[in-house]
Structure 1
Amino acid sequence: MEQNKASQKWTITLFTIGVFMAGLDNGIISTALTTINDSFEVSPSWGTWSITIYTLGMAISVPIVGKLSDRFGRKRLFIVEILLFGIGSLLVALSPNFIFLLMARLLQAIGGGGIFIIGSSHILSTLPKGKQGKALGMLGGMHGLSAVIGPNLGAVILSLTGSWHWMFLINLPIAAFLIIFGFLKMEETKAGTAKPLDFKGSILLTVGILTFMYGITQFDSGSVIISIFIPQVVILLIIGIVLFVLFIFHERQLEQKGGDPIIAFSLLNNRLFKVTLLLGLISGGFLAGIIFIPAFVQQVLQVPVEHAGYWLTPLAIASGIGAGLGGVLTDKYGASNAISLSGVLGLFGFLLFAFWVEGFFSFVLASILAGVGLGILLGAPLNMLAGESAHNGGKGMALGTLSLVRQIGLILFPIVYAGFMTGAFTKIEPAIQQKFGHTLVESDNYGGLITSVDAIADPELHIDILDTATSVINTGFSNMFITAAVLSILVMIFGIYLNKFKKPI
């Protein structure tokens, strides 16, 4: 359904604001995590569930919301999603206890998880092909920027207000604006369908996702391989996989009977879509590598936390530029070429982080390369490929499935990366003992390490031991960046494959 030009501008603007608002939330809360845990008197391990449950909620909601947007209409679903996100934000701010906060965060995630999918589906369904990439790039840019800006914005809000509650209350006027202008300015782009909703498929998919991803979150970052054989983890993963198999079998039968499946089996059987899903999984690892860069700035480059935001600004800007550039390149040269370029830029950027970055200017260069590469990959190309895979409609369904796979990558790869960090920390004490004959209070986190080093009275020894500890920590980050570089090579290979064997999208 074509919309007039003014309506399209308003619609895409509202989607962009919604995507940015929802994407900021997890980054913002990470800044105040310790404050929130202290206010409810919960342990750090229990407190991290305020982030984990948001990620799980998004993973559950995105494929189902994508399907519902195809079924009931994108305007309707957008307004419902914003309303749920706004109510969830208010309930988080008013939470009387931690369990209530977790439930409110889950409601937030269900509301925020589908906004990007609905916006992307709208663009693929209403804009001419030559303009889709640019619009998708804008949405992807906001999505990527929010992940990088979130922690810094959270720190600003916390310092200005002194209360973590305002991090969620500021969502309310934005949500109200989006709902009001959504009613007034957006036009519906998808008529409803008379076919019954696939409740059985929805339940199988929801429980399968929740079980499988909860199993992943139980991995021990210090020994990922061993974690796979922990009985609790094994049971959760097996149940999740069995439910996925049952879900696919059910969807195939339903499609053959002429029903309306959540995810069409014919889509899952599409070769182009399979490659797109693999790229989506890899992009989760790509993004996870970027997420660890702030820790690299503080722990390896020894930049004080109050100055770290300045160092990270080029990365945020580069991600936004990359998303816009990816949209333009996709429109002009095809998604496969844009994907290949993102892999090349990511490869050089991550290798620079691993082997060359020592100061501000080398850091900025590596940030620009990795940031632009990430922006390109998270923007238009993969969404265009997913939309192209859904030949007979169902673009929201395809985009939701892609987003789900990316969320799995975004949970799985940080566990692997954290394992590199944990391994590095275990080597600090032996390295210091061997070099200086000095014993530190053993610690598995950076804060504890610094406290132990600061207790050393001799200034020269203090500096030398801190340099040695930093050098050992850097080995963990180097392994992470090398892994991210390998993922970038895979992105290049898939891009070349698509360019060679498929027509440019």
Structure 2
Amino acid sequence: MTTTDEFEPLTGVTLLLAGAVLALTNFMVVLDTTIANVSVAHISGSLGISSSQGTWVITSYAVAEAICVPLTGWLSARFGAVRTFVLGMIGFGVFSVLCGLSSSLTMLVVCRIGQGFCGGPLMPLSQTLLLRIFPKEQQGQAMGMWAMTTVVAPILGPILGGTISDNLSWNWIFFINIPVAALCAFGAFKLLTPAETRTERMTIDTVGLALLVIWIAALQIMLDLGREHDWFQDGFIVTLAIVAAIGLAVFAAWELTDRQPIVDLRVFRHRGFTVAVLSLSFAFAAFFASAVLIPQWLQSSMGYTATYAGYVTAFTGVGAVIMSPIVAKLLEKVDPRGLVFFGILWMGATTLLRVHWTSGSDFWTLAVPQMLQGIGVPFFFIPLTTIALGAVDPEETASAAGVMSFMRTMAGAIGTSVSTTLYYNNAAVARSEIVSRLHSDATSTALQARGFSLGQVRGLIEQTVMPESYVLAINHVFLLSAIVFGGAALIIWLSPRPTRVIEAGAAH
């Protein structure tokens, strides 16, 4: 591979094929963030684990991806963007095979971590290489194609994941990556080799990277295991909390003083960036958590198959696709803070519609709030990027985009862990309260008089109580999520209005 930056954009069929390879890669990586959401029940049942443990399949991938995204710049500078891309694709394919072959939770989580590490750089690199191979006048169209794959993939993810899990097995949600990864790796090697970027010997912030892995791993393990270990009544959880807190403090101090930090925390000195990232993190945590919890609730309590649970959750993407081009036009004329405020507040309002869900809600009662919420998604994603990256110095744009992506992904993982804990804890409380109000003796006597055995009576009561306790639990989570959305919407006004226009492809 060449290591020079003297490169002319591609043309003709080669350009179209190379663009298709990069777009398909981005589609696959984004798809994998949602395809497992509706398959948790199948995975849990197959591996003999609880549904709360099944969510580790989602959070482990997200955390690994978050850790690796800040490394993208160093990897591409050290080894070349194309070489890093090809090796990442090969690794993603290999770990997809191992995920599908996993026979235990430990193996699956480890392989998902490997998949996240390899997939982390692919999304930003696909964007970078698209801008590199397309002529300047066609870069807007290239970014439009890239953005469309980013928006469409989360819609198809739940539908595809549900259909595959119901008709084949959950293993195939990973196996389907294999031909795509092979095709994209081969295509990138053959078509993008001339576009290889210049490489140079670079040192890596090994201390910063080690500290990053330590505190994030400690935090995520604490959140995932906390409920099962009775939280801070358990010494192991307390130890993890201490390691996470100290690790974060030392990490922050190191990164703020290191000349070449792995994560450039100095961008947080810009008020606009800090406020925008906080708003994004809180809103995305609430948004992503519901995308994970709703399919689990639908399958465990409402009797939905994974396929139909996928249909319900996919409606969010429909609203997002419709509104994305409209928001892009509005951004040219309207204060982006106003758009963010409206978008997040809208998402909070539509979340309140879910608070009235019951165990008797039909398909459209569940799907319509999903589609309505999707309308607000582009209103906060797109303008928030403008506010955050417009607040930093031009030479800090790439670093800021990496930090923003890191914070968003971590927020989703943490939000999922916290919401899952709240959901199952609230279900236990709700069940206890419902049982305490039941006239169980009279009910039992009446049913036994009709010929039911005592065991059958208890089973019928349990079948009645459990769905109601879970619907009360998830409604409580929705209410808290709406409050989080409201707070995230309000704090955006603490940010100054951006004064710098962000070029296409600045963020990933």
Tell me how far 1:112 sits from its aligned partner: 1.4
Aligned to 1:213: 220
Query: Is 1:28–1:150's contact at 8 Å kept on the other side of the alignment?
Result: yes
Which of 91, 109, 114 pairs up with 2:98?
91
The letter of the residue matching 2:173 is: M
Query: Is 1:67–1:263's contact at 8 Å kept on the other side of the alignment?
Result: no
Identity of aligned residues (%): 23
Which of 246, 249, 257 pairs up with 2:250?
246
Aligned to 1:290: 291
Aligned to 2:380: 377
**Cα 1:175/1:387, change in 2 over 3 Å:** farther
Which of 213, 216, 231 pairs up with 1:227?
231
Aligned to 1:446: none
Tell me how far 1:303 sits from its aligned partner: 5.1
> Matches of residues 39-438 of structure 1 in structure 2 within 5 Å?
49-69=56-76, 73-95=80-102, 99-120=106-127, 139=146, 142-143=149-150, 145-147=152-154, 149-160=156-167, 162-186=168-192, 188=195, 191-220=198-227, 227=231, 230-255=234-259, 260-282=260-282, 283-297=284-298, 307-330=308-331, 333=334, 335-355=336-356, 358-378=361-381, 380-389=382-391, 391-393=393-395, 395-418=397-420, 419-437=422-440
Query: Is 2:162–2:305's contact at 8 Å kept on the other side of the alignment?
Result: no
- Distance between the aligned counterparts of 2:94 and 2:80, measured in 1? 21
- Distance between the aligned counterparts of 1:52 and 1:270, measured in 2? 30
Q: Deviations over 1:164-197 (max 9, x none)?
A: 4433222121112222332344474854344423
- Distance between the aligned counterparts of 1:294 and 1:44, measured in 2? 11
Query: Is 2:35–2:160's contact at 8 Å kept on the other side of the alignment?
Result: yes
Query: Is 1:287–1:410's contact at 8 Å kept on the other side of the alignment?
Result: yes
- Distance between the aligned counterparts of 2:200 and 2:94, measured in 1? 28
**Cα 1:129/1:193, change in 2 over 3 Å:** same
Aligned to 1:444: none
Length-normalised TM-score, structure 1:
0.78
**Cα 1:12/1:230, change in 2 over 3 Å:** farther
Aligned to 1:503: 499
Tell me how far 1:116 sits from its aligned partner: 2.5
Name the SS of the counterpart of 1:473 in structure 2.
Answer: helix
Aligned to 1:486: 483
- Distance between the aligned counterparts of 1:277 and 1:384, measured in 2? 11
Query: Is 1:63–1:399's contact at 8 Å kept on the other side of the alignment?
Result: no
Which stretch has the larger CA shift, 144-153 or 300-309?
300-309
Unaligned stretches of 5+ residues in structure 2: 445-452, 502-508
> CA RMSD, aligned part only?
4.3
**Cα 1:133/1:437, change in 2 over 3 Å:** farther
Query: Is 1:219–1:233's contact at 8 Å kept on the other side of the alignment?
Result: yes
Tell me how far 1:243 sits from its aligned partner: 2.6
**Cα 1:477/1:173, change in 2 over 3 Å:** same
Query: Is 1:216–1:411's contact at 8 Å kept on the other side of the alignment?
Result: no
Tell me how far 1:356 sits from its aligned partner: 7.1
Tell me how far 1:26 sits from its aligned partner: 5.1
Tell me how far 1:125 sits from its aligned partner: 8.8
- Distance between the aligned counterparts of 1:469 and 1:55, measured in 2? 31
Aligned to 1:475: 472
Name the SS of the counterpart of 2:278 in structure 1.
Answer: helix
- Distance between the aligned counterparts of 1:414 and 1:274, measured in 2? 22
- Distance between the aligned counterparts of 2:74 and 2:491, measured in 1? 27
Q: Deviations over 1:294-324 (max 9, x none)?
A: 3454567665656444434422322443455
Tell me how far 1:10 sits from its aligned partner: 5.8
Query: Is 2:351–2:478's contact at 8 Å kept on the other side of the alignment?
Result: yes
Unaligned stretches of 5+ residues in structure 1: 442-451
**Cα 1:366/1:156, change in 2 over 3 Å:** closer
Which stretch has the larger CA shift, 140-149 or 129-138?
129-138
**Cα 1:415/1:119, change in 2 over 3 Å:** same
- Distance between the aligned counterparts of 1:99 and 1:472, measured in 2? 30
Query: Is 1:148–1:316's contact at 8 Å kept on the other side of the alignment?
Result: yes
Name the SS of the counterpart of 1:371 in structure 2.
Answer: helix
Length-normalised TM-score, structure 2:
0.77
Name the SS of the counterpart of 1:175 in structure 2.
Answer: helix
Tell me how far 1:350 sits from its aligned partner: 0.8
